[in-house]
């Protein structure tokens, strides 16, 4: 697999070879789907909370006698059938939504996504010149000229100027290369690496 290599002025210069172990694996959509479900489920925060019969305040006295009134049988005023009673089968904030997935399966799912991007020519690499000043205006102009819809920009933590130049662009999301995830990879069309971040990705999964 190969990707287009751009220089710091975003001019196509050459093609760079991509690692077959990362970008040349078989695309397994079932694993990608499972990894996406895992990410979304593990990010859930249980907020909704209802009180059960032991948490609701009030008397437990039987409201009226069992027989002879002509009314249906009734227990305490805290019954879920009555106003201000406890809630039966309501949501609780102690519910655990997390699911698990083997480490090898998670990695294989990520490699499948990267391979899918590479097969569709949606991976690009830029060789940045550290001495040049990066501005948001320049990034916007480049995005228009290259006719790229949405970018996921994978960079290193020390690429602060690049992060500041891209963070306010609606169609670009800067992301540390170690945090590549299925939700962002599926949402954004093109995956842009810096040359250093691509090397770092290979080191992480070597």
Lowest mean pLDDT among 5-19, 34-48, 116-130: 5-19
DSSP alpha helices (H): ranges in 18-154?
20-23, 29-42, 103-119, 136-146
* Token reading at 73: 């049988």
Task: Say if residue 115's pLDDT is above 60.
Answer: yes
Mean pLDDT confidence for 151-155: 91
Query: DSSP assignment, residue 86?
Result: P
Residue-level pLDDT at 130: 64
Residue-level pLDDT at 205: 86
Task: Say if residue 131's pLDDT is above 60.
Answer: no
What is the distance between the alpha carbons of residues 61 and 29, in angstroms, rounded to a whole number?
A: 58
Mean pLDDT confidence for 18-28: 89
Provide the terminal-to-terminal Cα distance of the chain, rounded to the nearest Å.
17
Which CATH number is 2-28+101-204 given? Answer: 3.40.1370.10
Q: What's the pTM value of the predicted model, to 2 decimals?
A: 0.80
Average confidence score pLDDT of the chain: 88
Residue 8 backbone dihedrals phi, psi, to 5 degrees? -70, -20
More confident residue, 130 or 42: 42
Write 15-23 long-range contacts (CB < 8 A, 24+). Answer: 16/125, 16/195, 16/198, 18/118, 18/123, 18/198, 19/202, 21/111, 21/205, 22/111, 22/114, 22/115, 22/201, 22/202, 22/205, 23/111, 23/114, 23/115, 23/117, 23/118, 23/123
Mean pLDDT confidence for 92-99: 92
* Token reading at 60: 């437990």
Task: Show me where the domains of the chain are located.
Answer: 2-28+101-204, 45-96
Which pLDDT band holds residue 143 (cuts at 50, 70, 90)? confident
């Amino acid at each position: 697999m190969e990707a287009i290599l751009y220089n710091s002025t975003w001019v196509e210069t050459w093609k760079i070879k991509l690692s077959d172990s990362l970008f040349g694996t078989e695309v397994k959509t079932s694993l990608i789907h499972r990894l996406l479900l895992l990410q979304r489920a593990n990010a859930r925060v249980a907020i909704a909370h209802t009180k059960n019969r032991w948490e609701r305040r009030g008397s437990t006295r039987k409201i009226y006698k069992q027989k002879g009134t002509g009314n249906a049988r009734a227990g305490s005023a805290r019954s879920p059938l009555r106003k201000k009673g406890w809630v039966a089968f309501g949501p609780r904030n102690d519910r655990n939504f997390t699911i698990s997935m083997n480490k090898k399966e998670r990695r294989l799912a990520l490699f499948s996504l990267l391979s899918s991007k590479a097969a569709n020519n949606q991976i690009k690499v830029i060789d940045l010149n550290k001495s040049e000043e990066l501005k948001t205006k320049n990034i916007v102009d480049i995005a228009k000229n290259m006719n790229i819809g949405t970018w996921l920009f994978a960079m290193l933590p020390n690429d602060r100027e690049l992060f500041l130049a891209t963070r306010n662009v609606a169609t670009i999301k800067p992301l540390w290369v170690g945090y590549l995830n299925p939700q962002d990879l599926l949402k954004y069309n093109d995956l842009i690496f810096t040359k250093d971040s691509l090397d770092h990705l290979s080191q992480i999964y070597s």
